[in-house]
Amino acid sequence: MTPKKLEQRLFFLSAVAVFIFAVLIGRLAYLQLVEGEKYEKLATENRIRLLPLEAPRGDFLDRNGKPLVTSRLAPVISVVPMDMKNPDEVLSRLSGLLGYDVKQSVEETIARLKERKEYRSYMPIRIATDADIATLTKIAEHQLELPGVIIEEQPIRDYPLKDIGAHVFGYVREISKEELEAWRNKGYKIGDIVGKTGLERVYDEVLRGEPGGQQVEVDAGGRPVKYIPNPKVPVAGSSLKLTLDRDLEIAAAEGLRESMARIKDSFPTKAGAAVVLDVRSGAILAMVSEPSFDPNVFTREKIPYDVWKAMNDPKWQPQLNRAIQGEYPPGSTFKMVVAAAGLETGTIRPEDTIVDRGVYWRIEPKKCWKPGGHGVVNVIRALEVSCNVFFYDLGYRLGIDTINRYAKAFGLGQPTGLELYPQEKAGILATPEWKLANYKLLGLRRPEPWQAGETLSAAIGQGFSAFTPLQMANYVATLANGGTRYRPYLVSQIIGPDGKVKKSFGPQVVEKIDLKPSTLAAIKEGMHLVAQGPEGTAASYFRDFPIPVAGKTGTAQNPHGADHGWFVGFAPYDKPEIAVAVLVEQGGHGGSAAAPVARRIFETYFGIAHQAGKNLPPAPSVD
Amino acid sequence: MFDRRLLKNLDYVIMGAVAALTTISLFVIMSASPEDPFYFVKRQLLWIAVGLVAFIITLSIDYHDLSRYTRHLYYLNLALLVATLLLGSEAKGAQRWLQIGPVALQPSEFAKIIIIVTLAQLLSEKAPELRTLRDLVPVFIHVGVPMLLILKQPDLGTSLVFAALLFVMLFVAGVRWQHLAAVALSGVAAAPVLFHFLKDYQKKRLLAFIDPNIDPTGAGYHVIQSMIAIGSGRLWGKGLFGGTQNRLGFLPEQHTDFIFSVIGEELGFLRAAGILILYFIIIYRGIRVAAKARDDFGTLLATGVVTMLTFHVLVNVGMTTGIMPVTGIPLPFMSYGGSSYLTNMIAVGLLLNVHMRRQKILF
């Protein structure tokens, strides 16, 4: 390039620079000199406040679109620090009206906001959500003495089912310091309401939506006098369509409560769990855990002491989701695994019999639960009457490794893959190696090898193994559908605020177990007889039931108290649709404690009128 | 380290202006951190020290030697930007930071310097051959690749700096007017397409610039509050530490991107305009450095530095005064932030390097 051309171009560049700076200085002069007075006034009495508009969280809908969890508008009391002429006075007055001290919490919030450089004195700080009418009236009456105190309507979480399904849904509450730190990059800020447990937590980012805001001009007392147009409209969160069936969920919870009320004189228990699965997909139709809690209490800042105390009862632990976090020995409900192993390996044929004289002598005398024994039994009858001696013998012949191989195939002792918080427990599938490694857990001083007698106990579900109710339900569902083990799931769709489906979830096959039709037929027939056969251990609860049912009772020995009662089953027997697993902790017997709950669930599912307490004989002493 | 004759050739006016801006910035940053006045200042002082060392090192290397390493620099730059996308940490929805030991760096800041050097080298070599639009394609690719990587972070402001550098440096390299017009037009035509790829918050910021009421709680609110701050400063300002908009927290990011709002509010028109004139002096003398440089490489280096500084001042001051959209571009030498300060010191180092070695020194 010629020097002359370069000079020209650089001269042009200088001219551009002069122009740019002239514009900037001119703009500065316009703002500061021409409009200065106006802006000065706006600044000295900067009365523009920014009120956040919370986004309504997405709803939870059941499989038929019925609401399970929603949001509603509620009055929220907040303070705007800048407008509190004398914060100490305003806050102590407010504390007096609310009946508890708010000063400390406000000061803490401000300190935390300052620490994160997020403090804005014109932004409101939430004090009390969903305050009652009496409190609101008192505040309105004392408005003049409470500058900077504002009441606005904001959407809050509403759980219309109250304490039913609380473990699945979870609850929401203000984000904690630790969560803020852990989810640093996800756009959360102090004061955000977030899911703490359950699906609320797992899907928080989907549910929470995007908050909006409204610029408001306020008077000297900080009360809005003018809403500046064009607020930023909050974007509602996406909704979750669940696989749950609202009616079944209620039936499962009420069934458990009814059953526990009926047996309370002999077995005073409060704890249990029930899981209902669609055997054709692994969709969870109901999941309940008892005792429960009402998640609505967490939406208010102040939780009454007695409520808090009840929720944290160390004995019954209402916040524990027993359906996925409780691990219980399966008792006789495990016998189908042993039967499947025996039939599949050819160790027995369906027609093979043994004679049960009440005691199995091979290793050490082990009794059948029925004194004198069941006489001649094949595998079908062994299931029907829950004959222990038959399964001692079969277990002895199979060996622990073969039994465990089948238990594992049915998904026992391993996470099912359900996405829920707190996470599901894996359960324990006790193997000889497990026993060596966990001797301390068993109270042993040094590792001890597996005993042959322990294989016999394992064969009737009384060993060291322990499974979650969800695993048990999935195992029965796998049997019912002929060997396909699905991954249980709770969410079928994520639906955007516009009503469009954003994401769908469907059945996922985890494993296909190769089971001969004769194996399945024998086991299912045995289970059918349990529920509706002449000598079935649960027949007193299902004999008159119009739909053919299959099931199995279990009474699991519990070294810490009364036996746990189990019932697992599916229906219709000939064309299975749903599978259930019911556990009543320390319920005494599977038949009396758990089978009526399953009946209640089947009644609801098949639309059969429920007659509370009818046709339910007193607890028979069967396994 | 330096030949005395070289030191005689230093542009002390530019150095003085930079020193003045830096000194003023310390007071303003102090005022802009009402919770803990020394928190940011202490850190900034550290970065100023680092910046000074970098400045001296940049001066001590003959800029001609740089031309031998442009290829290495270019690929190092790409590697750093890719690393930022893959390993970088997020802040406010953007992946901009790379953690190296105890320090977090913004590779996109250094990318600006590197692209100035490599583009100057490329253009000084190829300028005579750039006769048709097709000849320009390699140049576009040269700038386009790092630019897209930065846009991906996403950092719209910095990638626009790249566009400005490309345009102005092509202009000074002597590319024909018609071609430049074609480049500008295609840029305008591509804008709606690019807009489509922006993140929602970026779109909102741009739309909020056209109508602040579109996003009154976000970017729109910030601009309104910034204009109130600056306007209320009037002729003399409210005095350091006296700005209500600043101290009460109406201003967002007042120690970084919106520091000029504090300057306007607390120091007033006269001093704020004075600060703009300090920038103008640096830029004006920078163009003279470009004019007097010994070779095309030097001219283009100086042009790049000047373009970068001008673009930053224009976009940042324009944003705080409401005539430019909110893009998160810092004010050179004044906004709090280590990578930015360091980059600008290296840039000025390059500028003075070119100036210092403008004459052949005979021994």
Please report, as a single letter, which amino acid is at residue A479.
L
**Residue A526: CB partners within 8 Å, gap ≥ 6?**
A336, A339, A379, A380, A381, A382, A383, A384
Structure tokens at A616: 């339910």
Judging contacts by C-beta atoms under 8 Å, the chain A residues touching residue B296 are 1
Which of B230, B248, B299 shows the shortest C-beta gap to A6?
A: B299
Q: Which of B17, B10, B56 is nearest to B275 (CA)?
A: B17
Dihedral angle of Cα A363, A366, A368, A370, to the nearest 10 degrees: 140
pLDDT in tens, A563-584: 999 999 999 999 999 999 999 9
The CA-CA-CA angle for residues A576, A581, A583, to 5°, reads 160
pLDDT in tens, A349-402: 999 999 999 899 888 888 888 888 899 999 999 999 999 999 999 999 999 999
Show the domain range for A504: 246-308+317-605
Structure tokens at B191: 């804008």
Q: How many CB atoms lie within 10 A of CB A316?
A: 14
Which of B224, B314, B321 shows the shortest C-beta gap to A31?
A: B321
Give the mean model confidence (pLDDT) for residues A197-210: 94
Check CB contact under 8 Å for A120 and B314. no
Give the mean model confidence (pLDDT) for residues A125-144: 89
Q: A109 φ, ψ to 5°? A: -60, -45
Residue A350, in any domain of the structure: yes
Same domain, A499 and A551: yes
Q: Is B349 on the interface with A (CB under 8 A)?
A: no
Residue A14, in any domain of the structure: no
Q: Considering only alpha carbons, which residue of chain A is nearest residue B254?
A: A117
Judging contacts by C-beta atoms under 8 Å, the chain B residues touching residue A50 are 217, 221
Per-residue pLDDT at A309 exceeds 80: yes
Q: Is B318 on the interface with A (CB under 8 A)?
A: yes
Give the mean model confidence (pLDDT) for residues A310-336: 95
Residue B221 is predicted with a pLDDT of 72
Instruction: Select the more confidently predicted residue: A181 or B333.
Output: B333
DSSP A354-388: EEE-SEE-SSS-EE-SSTT--EEEEHHHHHHHT-H
Residue B243, in any domain of the structure: yes
| Mutation target vs B (from A16, A19, A20; most B CBs, 10 A cutoff) | A20
pLDDT in tens, B315-359: 999 999 999 888 878 999 999 988 899 999 999 999 999 999 887
Check CB contact under 8 Å for A120 and B249. yes
Please report, as a single letter, which amino acid is at residue A388.
N
- Tell me the nearest-neighbour CA distance from A146 into chain B, angstroms: 21
Q: Is B17 on the interface with A (CB under 8 A)?
A: no
Residue A116, in any domain of the structure: yes
Same domain, A169 and A235: yes
Per-residue pLDDT at A496 exceeds 70: yes
Same domain, A192 and A294: no
Q: How far is CA B279 from CA B236, B270, B314, in A?
A: 20, 14, 10
pLDDT in tens, A398-410: 999 999 999 999 9
Which of A21, A28, A43 shows the shortest C-beta gap to B232?
A: A43
Residue B229, in any domain of the structure: yes
Same domain, A465 and A588: yes
- pTM score of the predicted model: 0.71
- Tell me the nearest-neighbour CA distance from A198 into chain B, angstroms: 27
Check CB contact under 8 Å for B221 and A215. yes
Between CA B355 and CA B358 the distance in angstroms is 5
Which of A43, A119, A187 shows the shortest C-beta gap to B249?
A: A119
Q: Is B258 on the interface with A (CB under 8 A)?
A: no
Same domain, A194 and A293: no
- Tell me the nearest-neighbour CA distance from A512 into chain B, angstroms: 39
Judging contacts by C-beta atoms under 8 Å, the chain B residues touching residue A25 are 273, 276-277
Q: How far is CA A432 from CA A324, A464, A556, A609, B253, in A?
A: 25, 10, 21, 48, 63
Same domain, A520 and A598: yes
Which of A7, A212, A229 shows the shortest C-beta gap to B291?
A: A7
Between CA A461 and CA A457 the distance in angstroms is 6
Per-residue pLDDT at A326 exceeds 90: yes
Check CB contact under 8 Å for B233 and A36. yes
Residue A431 is predicted with a pLDDT of 94
Show the domain range for B226: 4-356
Q: Considering only alpha carbons, which residue of chain B is nearest residue A214?
A: B217
Judging contacts by C-beta atoms under 8 Å, the chain A residues touching residue B276 are 21, 24-25, 28
> How are beta strands A353-356 and A239-242 bridged, if at all?
unpaired
- Tell me the nearest-neighbour CA distance from B256 into chain A, angstroms: 13
Check CB contact under 8 Å for A14 and B265. no
Q: Is B280 on the interface with A (CB under 8 A)?
A: yes
Tally of domains in chain A: 2
Residue A347, in any domain of the structure: yes
Residue A7, in any domain of the structure: no
Q: Is B37 on the interface with A (CB under 8 A)?
A: no
Residue B363, in any domain of the structure: no
Per-residue pLDDT at B152 exceeds 70: yes
Same domain, A266 and A187: no
> How are beta strands A172-174 and A193-195 bridged, if at all?
antiparallel
Give the mean model confidence (pLDDT) for residues A520-542: 95
Check CB contact under 8 Å for B321 and A35. no
* pLDDT band (50, 70, 90) for residue B360: low
Q: Is B306 on the interface with A (CB under 8 A)?
A: yes
Check CB contact under 8 Å for A13 and B284. no
Q: Is B248 on the interface with A (CB under 8 A)?
A: yes
Q: Is B236 on the interface with A (CB under 8 A)?
A: no
Give contacts of B 193-212 with A, CB under 8 A. Answer: none
Residue A180, in any domain of the structure: yes
Give the mean model confidence (pLDDT) for residues A60-79: 94
Q: What CATH code is carried by the domain that includes residue A189? A: 3.90.1310.10
Is A292:A163 a contact under the CB 8 Å cutoff? Answer: yes
The CA-CA-CA angle for residues A333, A337, A341, to 5°, reads 155
Same domain, A172 and A270: no
| Mutation target vs A (from B215, B250, B295; most A CBs, 10 A cutoff) | B250
Of A17-26, A64-73, B46-55, B104-113, least confident by mean pLDDT is B104-113
Residue A173, in any domain of the structure: yes
Check CB contact under 8 Å for B244 and A44. yes
Q: Is B283 on the interface with A (CB under 8 A)?
A: yes
- Helix ranges (H only) for A47-158 are 87-98, 103-115, 133-141
Tell me if ipTM is over 0.95.
no
Judging contacts by C-beta atoms under 8 Å, the chain A residues touching residue B280 are 17-18, 21
Check CB contact under 8 Å for A122 and B250. yes
Check CB contact under 8 Å for A42 and B228. yes
Q: What CATH code is carried by the domain that includes residue A564? A: 3.40.710.10
Judging contacts by C-beta atoms under 8 Å, the chain B residues touching residue A181 are none
Q: Is B215 on the interface with A (CB under 8 A)?
A: yes
Residue A113 is predicted with a pLDDT of 85
Dihedral angle of Cα B311, B314, B318, B319, to the nearest 10 degrees: 30
Same domain, A263 and A184: no
Q: How far is CA B151 from CA A451, B114, B343, in A?
A: 67, 17, 19
Of A189-193, A431-435, A541-545, least confident by mean pLDDT is A189-193
Same domain, A267 and A198: no
Between CA A59 and CA A199 the distance in angstroms is 11
Give the mean model confidence (pLDDT) for residues A157-181: 93
Give the mean model confidence (pLDDT) for residues B225-238: 91
Which of B91, B233, B313 shows the shortest C-beta gap to A32?
A: B233
Which of B229, B287, B321 shows the shortest C-beta gap to A28?
A: B321
Residue B328, in any domain of the structure: yes
Check CB contact under 8 Å for A120 and B250. yes
Same domain, A297 and A150: no
- Helix ranges (H only) for A287-431 are 305-311, 322-325, 335-344, 379-385, 388-398, 400-409
Structure tokens at B137: 């394609």
Strand partners, A216: A49, A227
Q: Considering only alpha carbons, which residue of chain A is nearest residue B173?
A: A1
Judging contacts by C-beta atoms under 8 Å, the chain A residues touching residue B249 are 119-122
* pLDDT band (50, 70, 90) for residue A541: very high
DSSP B273-294: HHHHHHHHHHHHHHHHHHHH-S
Between CA A492 and CA A296 the distance in angstroms is 25
Which of A13, A42, A228 shows the shortest C-beta gap to B172?
A: A13
Residue B218 is predicted with a pLDDT of 63
What average pLDDT does chain A have? 91
Give contacts of B 119-148 with A, CB under 8 A. Answer: 127-128
Tally of domains in chain B: 1
Structure tokens at B106: 């913004």
Same domain, A230 and A92: yes
Q: Is B263 on the interface with A (CB under 8 A)?
A: no
Check CB contact under 8 Å for A36 and B173. no
If phi > 0 it is left, if psi is from -120 to 50 it is alpha, else beta; for residue A382 that is alpha
Q: Which of A484, A476, A126 is nearest to A334 (CA)?
A: A476
